[in-house]
Amino acid sequence: MRRHLAATAILWAALTAVGFWAAVRADVLPSAAAREAVIIDDAFRLLMLLGVPVFTFVLAVLLYSLARFRVRGEPQQDGPPLFGRGAVPWIWLLVTSALAVYVIFNPGLRGLAELRAHPTADLVVRVEGSRWLWKFSYPQHGVTAREVVLPVNRRVRFDVTATDVLHSFWIPAFRVKIDAVPGMVTHVLVTPTATGSFEDNFHLRLQCAELCGLGHHLMRSPVRVVEPAEFDAWVAGLTPP
Amino acid sequence: MPLVKGVVFGIAGFLLGAGATMLAAGALGRAAPPLEAAISIGYLLGLAGWLLGVGGWDYWARGWFGLPLRVSRVHGRQRYFHFTTDHKVIGVQYLVTFVILFLLAGLFAMLMRVELAAPGQTIMTAGRYTHVMSLHGIIMIAVSVATIIGGLGNFAVPLLIGADDMAFPRLNALSYWLVPPVAVLLVATFFTGGFDTGWTAYPPLSVVNATGQVLFNLAVITFGLSSIVGGLNFLATIVRLRAPGMTWGRLPVFVWSIFAASLISLTATQFLAAALLMVLLDRTAGMAFFAAARGGAPLLYQHVFWFYSHPAVYIMILPAFGIALEVLTHFSRKPLYAYRWVVAGFLGIVALSFLVWAHHLYTSGMPDYLHGPFMATTELISIPTGLVFLSALGTIWMGRLWLRTPMLFALGFLFNFLIGGITGIFNADVPTDLHLQDTYFVVSHFHYTLMGGMIFGLLAGVYYWFPKITGRMYDERLGRLHFWWMFVSYNATFLPMFWLGMFGMNRRIADYPVPLGPVNLFVSIAAFLLGSSFLVFVYNMVWSWARGPQAAGNPWQARTLEWQVPSPPPEGNFPAPPQVTGHPYDYGVPGAVHAVVAVGGAAGQDSGQEDER
């Protein structure tokens, strides 16, 4: 028994090392273009690091059991009667509970607090979803637009609504999402941190993420993040509605 | 022929109800004919006609009027097409019906993967794609809810507890015969404009789209009724009909899992019916539950809907846990590890399942202060679920692992559900879910729990009980081929979907940005391999059922009660109620006896031809 446990522990350690290496190397999230994206990606990576040893623990026990406890043909005798009535289930309960409670606080509640830390916005953009296109207006400037242009490193609040059915406001490069609901105005706050445009980064798009019927997959608009001066020039060139 | 009678009565009822509604509307001076109201009311009468015609009148309702019942004794294959009350026949009816539905919805998935193999339109318009996707979703949901409970649960639970049948045999038949109208309605959506809301049917879209939506709502409400009745029946059976000595502490783990799932079926399904009924009333009666402009609230639906539909995922997965643990203990030749802990885990899952629904609504626009509490309850549900893994790993540890097909599927279940569970944490965590919600990450996550989990568990159970159900043995080499083919192609299909979701592919779309093309092509090819693995399964099942070698009464040398009677078990199951004297899983305990079964149940005896009279 002790020998089996030791061998499984070594296998677990080895698999975990490989798992950590793979999790760090294969960091496949798209590049983060907003302050919120960094918070969310950090939460993602932390959960990966916590998930790897859990995954490899089960995998190690499974693989070791398959290799060592497998019987060829019909078993002629029974295994040792282990009932699990001792301390092992209590330890299991304690460890899994501690893990579950830990992830509630970190990255859960901590990430939420960071996302909500700066509720005041420099710029407000109104977004209205209708089947199957998005309309934008910049109430501080009194203009409407057919694309989303944002100044870099400025806090932006999107006020989102819909006219017909549910839609959902999602910009993959910013990682944030909020539904557009008829009769309601929902909000999402982001601070873009890198300039760029849909043409060279397809994650800079406003994508409808809530099934809205026939044209759902086409309901997307390009997003462009520019220097503040360029933004001022762009917004000045728009005509009031 | 009761089937013909059912169809005729059903059509007559439909025409009567629909016609009367149209006439009444005409008399009231309505300008436009109220088509959807006519369909709904016609369907109600049609459903009643179908149920009476197919057997409800002869076997049941005649008694209400003082008439003698007309119970016809049918034998052999004929039984499967009749309103019978034998739980084993009903189990097979459920199993075969839902495996066929599973294969049909699997074909829909293949069509979707053809469309998604390359960017741009391939074989379907976006509208057709959305309809096919929605049908795939709802049929697979029904398969997940009903196949294990209705099929294997019906067959095995009375046997496992030493009962001669379910507590309410006619109610049992009713819950099965409610299913064919559901299938007919869903297929009929092809002729009424389809429905394009996915299986979740969120309003306002579900209030304003084509008439197919009405058929969808009626179908799902009917299916819910079947589920409620089934849950009630299992609870009554397990509480009341256990054999002498079958204490709660000796109940086989599969029975516990059905008990836990039935608690949810009985108490939560009404919420789904209520949500869909409100949509129906918005459409047909001009009410405005979800019309914001007239004081309604679109978000209300999502709360009511998920109040059922999240607990429902545990209706789907708990019985699969039960099968996996059952198979693991018999094929490891060891007692089920931490039995009491895993039962507590099941009941803990039931309790917590009612407190997590709003984790589907993080991005819905619900108040922010709800995020923290629902994230907490959702993360906590990993604790009772973890106990299932404790039990599974403790059971195989130091065992004598016999790697027959059921065991392979049970081990595959563990691996897949582990991935499904860990990725669930990413969806439960609000910050990461803001990005992942409504993407292929979610698609992959729930396929890992439902297909990788529930379907693998189902297949473990199908191979495990195949000799008991049919009296014949399946082909072991084909069974193993099916497992390895399916296990590898399954993971090749769904692992890359996590990446697709993280990398910006949202779900329920007929087309996607061009840079996602190559990975989608890979996923499609893997999906075709996955789909083709079921050819092996179907061939093995059909051929073995017809021509396979006779199976012994207890080919697995298992200790539970169903293996102590002949294969297939005779009507009435046991010649006399078994006397249960010990725990079902005491492998390796010298002198341990689970139960004393009267003559006629000796292991190794065989009467495979008995039901072919």
Q: A167-171 and A123-130: which strand pairing?
A: unpaired
- Considering only the beta carbons, identify the residue of A36, A75, A166 that sits closest to B205: A166
**Number of domains, chain A:** 2
- Considering only the beta carbons, identify the residue of B126, B400, B589 that sits closest to A71: B400
Per-residue pLDDT of chain A (241 residues; tens, 9 = 90+): 889 999 999 999 999 999 999 988 877 889 999 999 999 999 999 999 999 999 999 999 999 999 999 999 999 999 999 999 999 999 999 999 999 999 999 999 999 999 999 999 999 999 999 999 999 999 999 999 989 999 999 999 999 999 999 999 999 999 999 999 999 999 999 999 999 999 999 999 999 999 999 999 999 999 999 999 999 999 999 877 6
Inter-CA distances, B137 with B115, B131, B505, Å: 16, 10, 18
CB contact under 8 A, A108 and B425: no
Note down the domain range covering A135: 123-236
- Residue A44: its chain B contacts at CB < 8 A? 426, 432, 435, 502
**CATH domain B86-470+483-513+521-547 topology:** Cytochrome C Oxidase; Chain A (1.20.210)
- A178 within domain boundaries: yes
pLDDT digits (tens, 9 = 90+) for B514-531: 999 999 999 999 999 999
Average pLDDT rounded to a whole number, residues B38-56: 95
pLDDT digits (tens, 9 = 90+) for B437-485: 999 999 999 999 999 999 999 999 999 999 999 999 999 999 999 999 9
- Residue B438: its chain A contacts at CB < 8 A? 168, 170, 177, 209-210
Report the distance separating Cα B565 and Cα A216, nearest Å: 56
> A136 and A60, same structural domain?
no
- Considering only the beta carbons, identify the residue of A4, A100, A112 that sits closest to B398: A4
> A93 and A163, same structural domain?
no
- A82 within domain boundaries: no
pLDDT digits (tens, 9 = 90+) for B115-127: 999 999 989 999 9
Q: Which residue of B has its CA nearest to A98?
A: B383
Tokens of A201: 């980064």
- A227 within domain boundaries: yes
- Asked if residue B611 has pLDDT above 90, the reply is no
Report the distance separating Cα B336 and Cα A83, nearest Å: 7
- Considering only the beta carbons, identify the residue of A58, A216, A217 that sits closest to B389: A58
| pLDDT score of A239 | 77
- A10 within domain boundaries: yes
- Asked if residue B57 has pLDDT above 60, the reply is yes
Residue-wise burial string across A79-92, b where 16 or more C-beta atoms lie within 10 A, e elsewhere:
bebbbbeeeebeeb
Tokens of B208: 């304003």
> A167 and A110, same structural domain?
no
> A23 and A103, same structural domain?
yes
Q: Which residues contact B610 (CB under 8 A, 6 or more apart)?
A: B471, B566, B568, B570
CB contact under 8 A, A81 and B586: yes
Helix, strand, coil percentages for chain A (3-state, nearest 5): 40, 25, 35
What CATH number is given to the structural domain containing A129? 2.60.40.420
Residue A159 · residue A127 · CB < 8 Å? yes
> A212 and A160, same structural domain?
yes
pLDDT digits (tens, 9 = 90+) for A76-87: 999 999 999 999
> A129 and A107, same structural domain?
no
* ipTM attached to this prediction: 0.97
Q: Which of A214, A102, A120 is nearest to A165 (CA)?
A: A214
- Residue A62: its chain B contacts at CB < 8 A? 393, 396, 411, 414-415
Tokens of B609: 């031809």
CB contact under 8 A, A65 and B396: yes
Taking CB atoms within 8 Å and a gap of at least 24, the contacts of B155-158 are: B155/B87, B155/B88, B155/B91, B155/B92, B155/B95, B155/B465, B155/B468, B155/B469, B156/B91, B156/B254, B156/B465, B156/B468, B156/B562, B157/B87, B157/B234, B157/B237, B157/B238, B157/B254, B157/B255, B157/B258, B158/B87, B158/B237, B158/B241, B158/B573
Q: Is B359 exposed, middle or buried (0-12, 13-18, 19+ CB in 10 A)?
A: buried
- Residue A92: its chain B contacts at CB < 8 A? 386-387, 390
Give percent of chain B with pLDDT exceeding 90.
Answer: 91
- A83 within domain boundaries: no
Report the distance separating Cα A187 and Cα B447, nearest Å: 31
- Indicate the helix (H) or strand (E) that contains A136: strand A133-138
- Asked if residue B610 has pLDDT above 50, the reply is no
- Amino acid in the structure at residue A7: A
> A132 and A105, same structural domain?
no
DSSP strands (E only) in A65-122: 70-71
> A110 and A186, same structural domain?
no
Which region holds residue B500: left if phi is over 0, alpha if psi is between -120 and 50, else beta? alpha
| pLDDT score of B600 | 53
Report the distance separating Cα B142 and Cα B180, nearest Å: 12
Report the distance separating Cα B54 and Cα B75, nearest Å: 17
| pLDDT score of B602 | 44
The CA distance from A140 to the nearest CA of chain B, in Å, is: 24
- A241 within domain boundaries: no
> A136 and A64, same structural domain?
no
- A80 within domain boundaries: no
- A153 within domain boundaries: yes
> A229 and A130, same structural domain?
yes
> A135 and A93, same structural domain?
no
CB contact under 8 A, B434 and A40: yes
pLDDT band at B613 (very low <50, low <70, confident <90, very high): very low
Q: How many other C-beta atoms can be found within 10 angstroms of the C-beta atom of residue B518?
A: 10
- Residue B298: its chain A contacts at CB < 8 A? 166, 181-184
What part of B 245-284 touches A (C-beta under 8 Å)? Answer: none
> A163 and A92, same structural domain?
no
CB contact under 8 A, B422 and A54: yes
A33 inside 8 A of chain B by CB: no
Average pLDDT rounded to a whole number, residues B323-328: 98
A and B: number of Cβ contacts within 8 A: 271
Q: Which residues contact B112 (CB under 8 A, 6 or more apart)?
A: B129, B132, B133, B136
- Asked if residue B33 has pLDDT above 90, the reply is no
A86 inside 8 A of chain B by CB: no
Inter-CA distances, A6 with A11, A60, A61, A96, Å: 9, 12, 11, 21
Domain spans of chain B, in order of start: 1-72, 86-470+483-513+521-547
Q: What angle do CA B290, B295, B300 make, to 5 degrees?
A: 40
Q: How many other C-beta atoms can be found within 10 angstroms of the C-beta atom of residue B495?
A: 14
Which region holds residue B114: left if phi is over 0, alpha if psi is between -120 and 50, else beta? alpha
- Considering only the beta carbons, identify the residue of A103, A175, A215 that sits closest to B435: A175
Tokens of B589: 């305990």
